[in-house]
Amino acid sequence: MADQQISLPAKLLNGGVAGLIGVTCVFPIDLAKTRLQNQQNGQRLYSSMSDCLVKTIRSEGYFGMYRGAAVNLTLVTPEKAIKLAANDFFRHQLSKDGKKLTLLKEMLAGCGAGTCQVIVTTPMEMLKIQLQDAGRIGGAQGRSGAAPAPSLRGGRASLSPFSPAAQRKILAAQAQPPVEAPRPTATQLTRELLRSRGIAGLYKGLGATLLRDVPFSIVYFPLFANLNQLGQPASGEKSPFYVSFLAGCVAGSTAAVAVNPCDVVKTRLQSLQRGVNEDTYTGFLDCTRKIWRHEGPAAFLKGAYCRALVIAPLFGIAQVVYFLGIAESLLGLLPGPQA
């Protein structure tokens, strides 16, 4: 098995198909996670994941839950393909001696996969977060963006410091519904970032992304491989698809919760728009200190259950597609080795 030639094109295709299916299924929960992680104590619009989704549908419609999905669907194919194929490649290289992979080698393979994927993950997350968080920023500004004008209805005009003409203007402004600011597209955001900050603009938060994705892969891939092996038949055939699905769900949710503090910091650093009175950050350590000081340690677990709900089916679906070998069937190739 160790000397069987793996097919990287097939692995890349499998990873891409898996990513497309998974993201389509769980994207609304991912949107709720981003908005929950970004809201600070002074701008709490949502109390829970369900509250966020209900308010999003009410204010932005059903498709508001898929704001930013186009970016993810475009870039998740290379992102998931690189992640899964890189892990498979490193496991193959580390098992060439014919011996069973040790836990350390499994962790090294996961580390390599996590490092490779940030090439695509960082700009994808950067653009996705701006689009996902636009509704939260707009809602916060609509609720408390400007100092409230004094109510003139039912009050005594003699107590108002404003002239009659000014009072009429204020009353007219209060009668007007708030105008929603136009929300940029992913293409507009990309052009603006490249124009103002160069390629580095798309890679803002790269360090935080590495600190999230490398530990995630170190935890996820060895845990998945060992859980999946528990359901492997005695005959040595690969595990049934439902075992791979459950192993992917359990390993994914465990790794997601473990690295959630880094995901919170990454999300805050990559958000370019801020609500009224919300903190700004200069880097990873500054963001960590301010979150700890102003919001307490519990803030690092914001969106943890949303992230677990996103990652569990995402990687469960990914592993099923991956281990079914859809690409191998399409391309007429033998499936690669499962170390």
| Residue of 266, 243, 246 whose CA lies nearest to 125 | 266
Q: What is the pLDDT, as a whole number, of residue 325?
A: 74
Q: Which of 82-91, 108-117, 262-271, 297-306 has the lowest mean pLDDT?
A: 82-91
CB 313 within 8 A of CB 294: no
Distance CA 43, CA 243 (A): 42
How do residues 228-244 score in pLDDT, each as one tens digit?
888 888 777 777 888 88
In one letter, which amino acid is 203?
A: Y
CA angle centred on 333, ends 329 and 334, rounded to 5°: 100
CB 171 within 8 A of CB 152: yes
CB 184 within 8 A of CB 71: no
Q: Where are the domains of the chain?
A: 8-139+183-331
Q: What is the pLDDT, as a whole number, of residue 212?
A: 93
DSSP string, 101-150: PPHHHHHHHHHHHHHHHHHHHHHHHHHHHHHHHHHHHHHHHHHHSSPPPP
Q: How far is CA 147 from the centre of its chain?
A: 33
Structure token pair of residue 265: 């910091």
Distance CA 152, CA 316 (A): 58
pLDDT-derived band of residue 331, with 50, 70 and 90 as boundaries? confident
Residue 200's Cβ-count burial label (10 Å; 0-12, 13-18, 19+) is exposed
Average pLDDT, the chain: 80
| Residue of 209, 247, 269, 219 whose CA lies nearest to 323 | 247
Distance CA 63, CA 88 (A): 36
Higher pLDDT, 16 or 132: 132
Q: What is the pLDDT, as a whole number, of residue 2?
A: 38
Does pTM surpass 0.85? no
- Whether the per-residue pLDDT at 102 is higher than 50: the answer is yes
Sign for the CA dihedral angle at 172, 173, 175, 177 comes to positive
Residue 182's Cβ-count burial label (10 Å; 0-12, 13-18, 19+) is exposed
CATH of 8-139+183-331, one of 1.50.40.10, 3.40.50.620, 1.10.510.10, 1.10.10.10: 1.50.40.10
- Whether the per-residue pLDDT at 171 is higher than 60: the answer is no
Distance CA 109, CA 311 (A): 20
CB 232 within 8 A of CB 126: no
Higher pLDDT, 160 or 300: 300
CB 259 within 8 A of CB 301: no
